[in-house]
A and B are shown apart, each in its own frame.
Chain A
């Protein structure tokens, strides 16, 4: 059995986490994933085609995502595009990582490194 698929404490690379975050909204194709990751990070993380599909390849192998045969609208979309969606394991991983980051943010707020969530700037 592949350990990475069964262990929710597996450390995600930043690229993998961002891709999982994008796919948490629903299935998507490579270019759209790349653009959304750039938007989420205000352009700080720019995935090239190599890093995008290299990460996707490993995530498919680990069972975090899977390919989808469905198309949102076949009339509008290029049929050569490949769509990806989260698996149950992928969803658990992204949730676990989000919780871990939330906990870290709480600690940072406790140390007054970040403003409280309710405060107005």
Chain B
């Protein structure tokens, strides 16, 4: 039986200063570019320099944020590490392709090949923590973190006394971004963070590509330190009707829309796909405060992990920062939040987060 899991610590790197203690989106770093690299923290503060030098961006972001999560949870190790990433270690993949295209007959440097392997971030955490337990990596486009989270819930139902690290990481790749641009995924016209999000009719096509990592410490025990809990998660590759997808999810969990105190929606300002959020908001959450996150964090496959971190903060602070509230009143009490997101019209994901 799948039961709620409690979150005891979190850490996040994004295009906002989310690594700063007590940062709560009251101050938003503005950008007018596309793509946008994540704000690099002082990695040396948590990673020995010798190891740091050998780590690619995904590995260092994952190690750093997992350390932040462990610190908040007041732990030094875990029993399992479960991660998601839409695209894995892109830069090393690009580096190795470029090296072999330049001259395949040469003896190539194996390091980018090794570190292009999709599970390198989870492996780096296992190595750093000497964690010999379960270690899994989901590479499933914009539903990668949801898969990791679901696996985490199954794992903790099998091992109710264990504590695990759950997380997600995605990095930008230079050439890959060019490809996405050619494929018309990206926004050209006046890209901006915060992205203007007209709630009734979005303006221009395209998304703003970003990157980041978010990790959580989770267990089945609330203990004294829990900062919230995840009670359910579900994904759907293609939803004919997003409203039906979300309302069925609520139904399965014995809830109706008014039971949700605020809803986090994945509006990213892409005129082609934001309709799904508008539809769901109008049909189910017309009276509910709506919260955005991609207009300040950008778009990447595992940004929903950062949305979960934001949801936990909202529950703990009992307020929604004005910079992320899109509509509705400032609620009296916040006990149950719902996150709904999709990317480019597919990979719908929905999650219930409670105090």
Does A pair with B?
Answer: no
